[in-house]
Structure 1
Amino acid sequence: MLVAAAVCPCPPLLVPEVAGGAAHEMDDARAACFDAIGVLTAARVDRLVVVGPADQPGRGPHPQGAGGSFRGFGTDLQVTLGPGPAKGPAGPGTGGSPAPGGGVRELPPSLAVGAWLLARTGWNFAPVEGLGVGELLARERCAATGREVAQSAPRVALLVMGDGSACRTLKAPGYFDERAAAFDAAAGTALGAADLAGLLALDEELAYELKAAGRASWQVLAGAAEGAGLSGRLLYDAAPYGVGYMVASWA
């Protein structure tokens, strides 16, 4: 059963080593993420699942101990999901999870950011697993995935990584779209109120057009929270680079 969740944005710029001299511009967002994860540490959970958007081959489960890096973002910083491999059979290699046909796959960027946040907050309270979700996954499948995750242990927590629209300003990655502010407002309201119906009402096609990569992850959360009776708080809501970044805590 889901007992707590933290919702955080997943831009690599959240990591100071990536942001460099502009790291201070994300100080408030970073602090809000740490506060949200603090709620997870107090929840006495049996399992933590980090959910985030992923392209192939990063979709699907990633075990504790899976590795990722920010080499593609100008730094050699490496991260590990959780404090180390969980007990049980190990996959090939030590830096990631098994890939089809052998070899090792790294954490997708969203889960790498999640792993960095957990490391910075000293997470060692429960086993950790990652789950990469396709950006175009239909809401029904997102919700079904969330329900499966929630049933995987008596007390489950989620760290949900995902950004809002990338079209809030002319200089935004997706340029300006007049629909972006309303989409982000609806998402932020639903996340702050733990409104499951509101999250599931977010339109897949519109989210894709607005480059809102967090939509699928948020709808996984909605499915996981069915029947849990959680309350939400919106801790941060801004668009410093023309991208909607929201942080919320559910408990």
Structure 2
Amino acid sequence: MLVAAAVCPCPPLLVPQVAAGAADELADARTACSDALAVLAAARPDRLVVVGPGGPEGAEEYAEGARGTFRGFGVALDVRLGPGESGTGEPDAAGLPASLAVAGWLLDHVAWGAAPVRGLAVGEGLPAGRCLETGRELAAGPERVALLVMGDGSACRTLKAPGYLDERAAGFDGAAARALAAADTAALAAIDAGLAYELQAAGRAPWQVLAGAAEGAGLAGRLLYEDAPYGVGYFVAAWS
């Protein structure tokens, strides 16, 4: 059963070493992420599942200790997904996708030790129905499960955004923010996958996995952070 969830953005710029001189620009987002992770720890889960966007389709699992790296962003920084004993030696170029590597950094940043960790990267093209079913499977059974859900909103909020300006982006992000704030699983499940793709909203599939996992869980939501630096919608929410 799902006992808590945290929603965090997943840009590599969230990691101070990657952001370098611009690190302070996402300081509030980092603080909010730490607060959301504290909610997960307080729920005393038996297991933490980190869900983030991965390849174009399908889903891929990662064990605790799986390795990730930010060397592709020009920083000699390697991370693990939780404190597992695997992942020794040189980083594997085919390791964690960027979203789970950011999650690994966040978990290390708060010295996570509340529960074992595993990762799940879901394809950005995964249909809503499969996302919802994946979430239901994660929450099935008596085990107390917490989710750390990584994903960004639209990337089309300004002229300088990665996807340029799209007038639909603000409305899309506003609806997502309201759903995350209210723990509204029906609203998350109803997100238009085609529109999300056009707006480059990488969080759509992970959010819909969350929607499936949280069905009937009776969790209440809080939105801890909402902004669109760099023209990309970022949200931090805690459900408990």
Please tell me the TM-score bracket, short chain as reference.
over 0.9
Unpaired runs of at least 5, structure 1: 97-102
Which residue number in structure 2 is paired with residue 100 of structure 1?
none
* Cα pair 2:154 2:202 within 8 Å, conserved: yes
| C-alpha displacement of 1:24 | 0.1
| C-alpha displacement of 1:55 | 1.4
In structure 2, distance between residues paired with 1:195 and 1:114: 23
1:178 aligns with 2:167: yes
- Change in Cα spacing, 1:61 to 1:3, as seen in structure 2 (3 Å) is same
Which residue number in structure 2 is paired with residue 113 of structure 1?
102
In structure 1, distance between residues paired with 2:74 and 2:97: 16
Matches within 5 A, 1:149-188: 149-151=138-140, 154-188=143-177
In structure 1, distance between residues paired with 2:201 and 2:77: 26
1:83 aligns with 2:75: no
Matches within 5 A, 1:13-162: 13-55=13-55, 59-85=59-85, 94=88, 105-151=94-140, 154-162=143-151
SS in 1 for 2:231: coil
In structure 1, distance between residues paired with 2:16 and 2:140: 35
Which residue number in structure 2 is paired with residue 2 of structure 1?
2
Question: 1:70-118 deviations in whole A, cap 9, x for unaligned?
Answer: 0111101000011114xxxx7xx7469xxxxxx8830000000001000
> One-letter code of the match for 1:71?
R
Question: 1:164-188 deviations in whole A, cap 9, x for unaligned?
Answer: 0000000000000000000000000
SS in 2 for 1:236: strand
* Cα pair 2:57 2:122 within 8 Å, conserved: no
Let me know the Cα RMSD of the aligned residues.
1.9
| C-alpha displacement of 1:51 | 0.2
Identity across aligned pairs (percent)?
68
Report the TM-score when normalising by structure 2. 0.96
Question: 1:194-216 deviations in whole A, cap 9, x for unaligned?
Answer: 00011011100000000000000
In structure 1, distance between residues paired with 2:22 and 2:239: 30
Unpaired runs of at least 5, structure 2: none
In structure 2, distance between residues paired with 1:239 and 1:172: 9
Which residue number in structure 1 is paired with residue 210 of structure 2?
221
In structure 2, distance between residues paired with 1:60 and 1:246: 24
Matched length: 240
Find the partner of 1:242 among 231, 234, 239.
231
Displacement over 2 Å in runs of 4+: 56-59, 93-96
